[in-house]
Amino acid sequence: MTEMTDTGVWQEVASPFCGIASDDLSIKVEGNTVSIVENGDAVTKAGFETPITDLSPRVNGKEVSLSEAVSHVAGLLRSSKQPVIGGLATDLNGVRSAMALADKSRATVDSMDSDAAFRNLLVLQDTGWMMTTLTEVRNRVDVLLVVGSDIEVDYPRFYERMLWNKESMFDQEIESRQVIYLGKTPSGDASTSPKGKKAHVLACDNEDLPEVMSVLRALVNGKAVQAEQVGGLAVSDLADLAETLKQAKYSVVTWSAGSLDMEHAEATVQMACEMVKELNADTRSNCLALGGKEGSTTVYNVSSWQAGYPMRTNFSRGYPDYDPYLSDSKRMLANDEVDVLLWVSSFNVKRTPPESNATTVVIGRSGMTFEQEPDVFIPVGVPGIDHAGRAFRGDSSVAVPLRKLRDSGLPSTFDVLTAVEKLV
Amino acid sequence: MLTKLTGGRVYDPANSINNEVKDIYIRDGRIVRAPSDGQFDEEIDVRGKVVMAGAIDMHTHIGGGKVNIARTMLPEDHAADVVARTELMRSGCGHAAPSTLTAGYRYAEMGYTAGFEPAILPINARQAHMEMGDTPIIDKGGYVMLGSDDFLLRMMASNGDQEAINNYVAWTMTHSQAIGVKVVNPGGINAFKFNQRKLDLDEKNQFYGVTPRDILLRLAQAVKELGVPHPLHVHGCNLGVPGNLDTTIDTMEGINGLPMHMTHIQFHSYGTEGDFKFSSGSAQIAEVINKHKNITADVGQILFGQTVTASGDAMRQFSATPHAHPNKWVCMDIECDAGCGVVPFKYKDQSYVNALQWMIGLETFLMVDDPWRVFLTTDHPNGAPFTSYPHLIRLLMDKTFRDDILSTLHPEAQKASHLASLEREYSLYEIAIMTRAGAAKLVGLADRGHLSVGGAADITIYTDDADREKMFSKPDYVFKDGTMVVKDGELIEVTWGTTHVVKPEYDNSIEKALKPYFDKYHTQKMGNFKMSDDEIVDDGRGSLTVQPLHAGGKI
């Protein structure tokens, strides 16, 4: 449990900032200054250590009280014809309050990481998948295939925690684990084994992945492939990879959807998912969709259980109306379909709203700076630093408790949105 | 405020009250004695109406990872049943995988005041409780899944003593906020991770050498010794496999008289006779249940139409994926803890197998003699959505109605069933046992499921109607903890029910083994695994009710 020891250091702190939600951080708090003492990385360091600046809300650039800001926002929503509640980087109760407000104000809900999330969700809704979770990977993986993603950038501790752990539960020799990259080449050495065995890389452009993955799937299924080259890769190398996957006892095919930035990446994700299903005719294999940083897994879960649909759901007709294309908030904003944008971003000061002509309200982490001052800015606390909360890990099966580590006086997103809802 | 419900025909089996005209008084959410001075503040005339305690669904998948996968996966399931916001209610959606809000409203509108999620993975308990926390009006709670978790199997493989297993079970129940323990395909979910594709009762897990029979005995023993009122809740081996009948009988007879609840037993009552190599085993199953008083069962009735099956049984769900309708599905291995499988399914009345499944379920209801030991479920949503309960009640209470439907089903299935020869019609008293008094007793709810003085004022009042489906669809009044939440079948007030748990005692030294286990093998710390009471209470909307343990359990 996250707890403070005598030395003023919090132990076993969970990070909501990256999707693997490491919960072994030691964190020192002095006044409002937070520093990671142990088990930090580039992502969590920025996440925990970004200092507080603003404490007061602003309306049209002028400092106002929280209640004035809240009633101003409620007024904007009351007169709005097509509001969007976007961003949605927050914790469980933050999303709950956003959903309640969207329902009441007939808004569209969307998340800042929807583009990435839908590369997976569209596959779930079309054909489904076989997935595993982090602890299973840690104990069982023998072959890890990384598709089109340089995962150590967004998940710096993935390999340390899931691949190169000291021992597995099932007497597996850790060093025997194979890591294979298909697509991107790893930028660092995280994927190199403790004894120095480097990942095997089959490099190609992400744009070629749809073709490469479909050939790999065909080879897994024993189909004859006439071509000798695909996406610059030798088909014989892909045939070897197919054989490796078939021989593996518990292979894991992973990707970070945020990295699959080519058009129709969902088709590649689907190819991977279907291939994994087919591998399971004889052996065990699973997908692991890495994602879920800064609350994005929390958003789609809460939206699904409260509305029946993930984000990109529109309440303008009084009931949830799901359309991943029409209710894409980026598209709506670019097309001037939105008159009020309420942007929630409580984790990362760099995640500011997209430029648009909409009246913009930012419920944001203190310390956020803007190229263009939003119409309303309400600084809020960070879940897991300024207030307690809960956040889903990227694999969705586990949610971590987040503790209040300091007393900054900043309100939570839940506090703000619930107050707005009462006035709408 | 003292409210008097005047002159209703009361069915309260916990107090052996069968259709007696009685007044009931409510104050501060509880049922109270008649005031000595005869004074009250409000009177509701329920003369001639049928009065029962609020109904309790003892097995319904309403919260947790696999349910939410079903919701996310099936936008088309919701599209035909979206629910608009009202002054009172949030918007949402219904049908097979309804939104949490709509599920709570609809349960209440049918006169249900509690529902229990039967498959909470310990590691996913936080999510299950989040979803149940967003389910209005009804009380909730859950059974925590053990039996394929590596910690237990490691203990068993190293011949850990029963005392240590008891401690682990109690520790897990406490920190996942559970009221019961469930086992799903005992050891089978784990074996599937080692690529075993079936695991019969005496078949060994290839890594641990442990059999499902061992697991059932250990867990049933633990539940009994801890004094947990709800018996071990068992989803047996070989779900859906023709011929699984023998395993099911062996499971019931092999538990050595320990209390055990067999869930959705319909799916475990199949023989292999006939041209289709698929036959009804309900007569043999009912005979074993009738004979063994330690056994209870819920049916898991199937009803025709589109639904989705969501189960912790990743092994059996994977093998069912060729039948997915529509053709999409999810299977997961989860955290060295368990797994899940979500497979949409359409039960067709002109399918021999589906028609016979329908008959097997009803035969089971009608052939188990004791309504205190058989429970009304569709294993929502696996056999059918919970909203079909009024229809199911009519099937049990109305032989003509039952026979009319039977005569339209697959003709070969009709020949394979003796359902038409079963004359039994359930009485209102028996329905009240099955859905109220019996369910409360089975789950271990001391203050629910009855209308005794001091009990919670969860009360449902119906207009008697020969059309039992109509009667049970729209109660006249539903009181939840004394608040009138439904009037004339319509919701008039939204309240938030409590979460029922038990807190069996254990020796905390179990953490000496658990902490290094989490540190070494898991990706979450033991301390962060634990769900605190505060998480249930949350922003004040939720609450925790600790139900008493059985005598014999440690206090």
Contact A305 B131 (CB under 8 A): yes
Quote the minimal CA–CA distance from A60 to chain B in Å.
32
- Going by DSSP bridges, is the β-strand pair B112-120/B55-57 parallel, antiparallel, or unpaired? parallel
- Average pLDDT over every residue of A60-73: 98
pLDDT category at A1 given cuts 50, 70, 90 is: low
How far, in Å, CA of A306 to CA of B130, rounded?
Answer: 11
Quick one: closest CA in B to A171, which residue?
A: B207
Nearest chain A Cα distance for residue B487, angstroms: 24
Using the structure block, give the residue that is written with the tokens 């020869």: B421
The residue-averaged pLDDT of A192-214 equals 97
Among A126, A162, A310, beta carbon nearest to B72: A310
- Cα angle B312, B313, B319 (rounded to 5 degrees) comes to 140
Best mutation target among A305, A327, A392 (most B Cβ atoms within 10 Å) is: A305
Chain A residues in contact with B67 by the CB 8 A cut-off are 305
Read off the pLDDT of residues A82-133 as tens digits, 9 standing for 90 and up.
999 999 999 999 999 999 999 999 999 999 999 999 999 999 999 999 999 9
* Shortest CA distance from A139: residue in chain B: B521
| DSSP codes of every residue in A253-312 | EEEEGGG--STTHHHHHHHHHHHHHHHTTTSEEEEEEE--GGGHHHHHHHHHHHHSS-SS
Residues A241, A181: Cα–Cα separation, whole Å: 10
pLDDT band (50, 70, 90) for residue A3: confident
pLDDT of residue A382: 98
Name the pTM for this structure. Answer: 0.97
Same topology, domains A53-113+294-423 and A118-291? Answer is no
Measured between CA atoms, how close is B105 to chain A, in angstroms?
A: 13
Extract the residue ranges of chain B whose pLDDT is less than 70.
552-555
Distance, CA of B50 to CA of B475 (rounded, Å)? 9
Mean residue pLDDT of chain A comes to: 96
The predicted structure's pLDDT at residue B553: 45
Q: Which of A104, A322, A399 is the closest to B127 by Cβ?
A: A399
CB B182 within 8 A of CB B142: no
Cα of B156 to nearest chain A Cα, Å? 15
pLDDT at B554 (0 to 100): 43
The number of helices, as runs of H, and strands, as runs of E, in chain A is: 13, 23
ipTM over 0.95: yes
> So what's the pLDDT on residue B552?
53
Residue of B nearest to A92 (CA): B130
Q: Which residue of A has its CA nearest to B71?
A: A308
Domain ranges of chain A: 3-46, 53-113+294-423, 118-291
Q: Enter the CATH code of domain A53-113+294-423.
A: 3.40.50.740
**Span between the terminal Cα atoms of chain B, in Å:** 36
Q: Is the pLDDT of residue A201 over 80?
A: yes
Q: Enumerate the residues of chain B whose CB falls inside 8 A of the CB of residue A308.
A: 71, 75, 78, 82, 92-93, 97-99, 102
CATH of A118-291, one of 3.40.50.2300, 3.40.228.10, 3.40.190.10, 1.10.760.10: 3.40.228.10
SS3 B83: strand
Nearest residue of A to residue B136 by CA position? A306
User: Over 90: is that where the pLDDT of A2 sits?
Assistant: no
Tokens of B413: 């299935």
Model pLDDT for residues A256-265, shown as the tens digit of each residue: 999 999 999 9
What separation in angstroms does the CA of A402 have from each of A10, A42, A134, A346, B239?
A: 12, 20, 19, 14, 39
Token output for A109: 């809900």
What was the pLDDT predicted at B180? 98
Best mutation target among A276, A304, A421 (most B Cβ atoms within 10 Å) is A304
Q: Where do the domains of chain B lie, and which CATH numbers do they carry?
A: 55-450 (3.20.20)
